[in-house]
Amino acid sequence: MDCTKIYCELLTDHNAYLLNIALDKLSNPVELKIDKTRLKNFLEYPQNLAFIAKYNDEVCGFIYGYSLMALDAAPQLFVYSVDVFSDYQNKGVGSKLFQYVVDYSRDNGFSECFVITDKGNKRACRIYEKAGGKNDYDDEIVYVIKHEGTGIG
């Protein structure tokens, strides 16, 4: 696979059909827990951002996240999820797509772009570090408080 032929773009309501087509073609629809209605609703809010990677005009990965307002700085881009379809993994798609998002955040006035992962996810760590990401703290942790009965599937 020639990584120079991977094209990345911001997903909007005008090109969301591309991800919808990809979702229809997935051999394992459970691979991604996204439905078309939720995607449409997600894109209606300007603070929600989504990006796709295409290879040979086929969507092969996507990233979504949120613009977070800060009281002491310009907005920050929080990358919530990075997904590369299984047929395209380990081929440079994730690196190219994540770098596109980092460049987008810099070029559009975000003070920083950040993502949370665990140190055991070596492949993801390499992608983030390759794009300039740094984790300077050994003691960082994230607490998650789940609310029963309010989530989806």
- Residues 16-63 have pLDDT tens digits of 888 777 777 665 544 556 777 888 889 999 999 999 999 998 899 999
Cβ neighbour number for residue 11 with a 10 Å cutoff: 21
> Domain segments of the chain: what residues?
3-130
Classify 20 as helix, strand or coil: helix
d(CA 27, CA 13): 25
Residue of 2, 20, 98, 14 lying closest to 53 (CA atoms): 98
The rounded mean pLDDT for the chain is 86
Fold type of domain 3-130: Aminopeptidase (3.40.630)
Determine contact, residues 61/7, Cβ cutoff 8 Å.
no
pLDDT of 141 reads 76
pLDDT of 107 reads 96
